[in-house]
Amino acid sequence: MNANLKWLKFAWLNTLRNRRRSLVTLSIAALGTCSILLAGGFALSTYKALAESSARSAGHLIVGTVASFEKDEDVPLQNGLDNAAELTRQLLMDKHVRHVLPKVEFSGLISNGDKSTVMVAVGVDPDAEFAVKGPFLTMKAGEVLLSGQEGGVMLGEALATSLKAKPGSSLTLLSATTEGALNAVDVVVKGVFSTGVIDIDKRLVYTDVVTAQKLLVSQRVSSLGVYLDRMEATDAAQARIAAFLPNLSVKTWLQQAQFYQGVKGLYDRIFGALGVIIAVIVLFVVTNAMAMAIIERTREIGTLRAMGTLPSQLLRSLSFEGMLLGGGGAIVGALLAMSVSVCLTLIDVQMPPPPGRSQGYPLNITVDAGMYGFALLAITLLAMLASLWVARKAVHQPVVEALAHV
């Protein structure tokens, strides 16, 4: 242990001999580490936000018939659930289930009397939908649906503009029933909202479950969204509920979140390639710095060898130099990345709207202990390996040649 401390002190003194070169090497390692951590933190923050959004939108678990997940419907609610109230009661008996939200999905036409346009509609339970999910919509006018107000609808902003509708306007919903006949029901606009996605705002309509079932002439629902007390309980709850309801299909939010999986796969490839590029840059910078230092000290290495210093001892000292440069830079980079991440939580920095969206989102960087530890260890090991690679030839060359080096 004392010998290692001695060689570590010797390595520290050697890094101070050319402070400018050591500072440049340390700075490159710091910037590389900071870049990796900020990019990785942004990816983790994006994953978390998308996961929470997906789970909030559909539920941690989605319960439906097997056919509802595997087959297309010829008529609305063809593959819907019967006895939704009884199923809800049974699901709420699970200690981890907090809420069960019914959903009726259908499509058709919406008309103001002069103009008709295609709609994609969702029937929800007003009592729980907007309270459980939180503010997942941006209200532009009016208010959200309330219980006891059957026949109310909420329109996407672009759809409301197209129909020249506003809170209080009367509209008509038209759709095919479960028997294939055409049915219509009059509704009143209660609110106008924006999801942040322009194409969705052109078609989306929210109404209450009772109005949707009246229009479709059915007491079925499309699915039940199960909301748990915590996201980590999802897999265990899926197994319990699937065993409890063997005739139905129970899917997790992840199995239904194609957008989340697509974004995660893309970001994994982008930031993985970025990490490899930065690691290679740090490796070459440290290698170059150590190569210059070793070439300048070839005669010194020969003198140490002549005095009886073993090659393994010299390799240990030089690897310690790489560890100090790489590890020191990694620590500085981690502190810098953490400072930027904390500042972004205090300062509201908005990212521009992604393609196809009308709203931006806050820029957040996640500070993950595992990611920080891995980055620090990886950069330090790369620097040590680079030092060993360039030092191995110098410490093993004949002593006479080393002493004669000019």
Residue 183 lies in a domain: yes
Residues 129 and 25 in one domain: no
Pick from 105, 36, 31: which is nearest to 75 by CA? 105
Query: Would you state the pLDDT for residue 4?
Result: 67
Residue 62 lies in a domain: no
Residues 275 and 217 in one domain: no
Domain that holds residue 327: 3-53+261-404
pLDDT, tens only, 248-279: 999 999 888 888 888 888 888 888 888 788 77
Residues 345 and 210 in one domain: no
Taking residues 13-21, what's their average pLDDT? 75
- pLDDT confidence tier of residue 166, bands split at 50, 70 and 90: very high
Contact present, 305 and 314 (Cβ < 8 Å): yes
Lowest mean pLDDT among 8-12, 52-56, 266-270, 368-372: 8-12
pLDDT, tens only, 140-159: 999 888 877 788 999 999 99
Residues in the chain: 406
Residues 6+ apart with CB under 8 A from 337: 33, 34, 37, 38, 41, 365, 367, 372
- pLDDT confidence tier of residue 244, bands split at 50, 70 and 90: confident
Per the model's pLDDT, the better-predicted residue between 329 and 283 turns out to be 329
Kindly report the average pLDDT of the chain as a whole number: 85
Lowest mean pLDDT among 44-48, 67-71, 129-133, 165-169: 129-133
pLDDT, tens only, 184-236: 999 999 999 988 888 889 999 999 999 999 999 999 999 999 999 888 899 99
Residues 134 and 48 in one domain: no
Residue 168 reports pLDDT greater than 70:
yes
Residues 45 and 89 in one domain: no
Taking residues 19-36, what's their average pLDDT? 84
Residue found by looking up tokens 């590389």 in the block: 32
- pTM here is 0.76
Residue 343 reports pLDDT greater than 60:
yes
Residue 312 lies in a domain: yes
Residue 67 lies in a domain: no
Tally of structural domains, the chain: 2
* Domain boundary residue, one of 190, 221, 252: 221
Residues 164 and 96 in one domain: yes
Query: Would you state the pLDDT for residue 404?
Result: 67
Residue 374 reports pLDDT greater than 80:
yes
Residues 210 and 324 in one domain: no
Residue 241 lies in a domain: no
Contact present, 387 and 291 (Cβ < 8 Å): no
Q: What percent of the chain has pLDDT over 70?
A: 94
Sign of CA dihedral 195, 201, 207, 209: negative
Residue 60 lies in a domain: no
- pLDDT confidence tier of residue 345, bands split at 50, 70 and 90: confident
Going by their DSSP bridges, the two strands 152-156 and 97-111 should be labelled as unpaired
Q: For residue 171, give Cα distances in angstroms to 182, 209, 285, 342.
A: 16, 17, 68, 49
- pLDDT confidence tier of residue 47, bands split at 50, 70 and 90: confident
Residues 275 and 216 in one domain: no
Q: How far is CA 152 from the centre of its chain?
A: 35
Residues 45 and 129 in one domain: no
Pick from 193, 183, 110, 102: which is nearest to 145 by CA? 193
Per the model's pLDDT, the better-predicted residue between 349 and 296 turns out to be 349
Residue 245 lies in a domain: no
Residue 227 lies in a domain: no
Residues 216 and 130 in one domain: yes
Residue 347 reports pLDDT greater than 90:
no
- pLDDT confidence tier of residue 280, bands split at 50, 70 and 90: confident
* Domain boundary residue, one of 221, 246, 270: 221
Query: Would you state the pLDDT for residue 70?
Result: 86
* Domain boundary residue, one of 206, 221, 236: 221
Query: Would you state the pLDDT for residue 341?
Result: 92
Query: Would you state the pLDDT for residue 357?
Result: 66
Residues 129 and 207 in one domain: yes
Residues 213 and 94 in one domain: yes
Residue 1 reports pLDDT greater than 60:
no
Query: Would you state the pLDDT for residue 358?
Result: 65
Q: Cα separation of 372 and 367, whole Å? A: 8
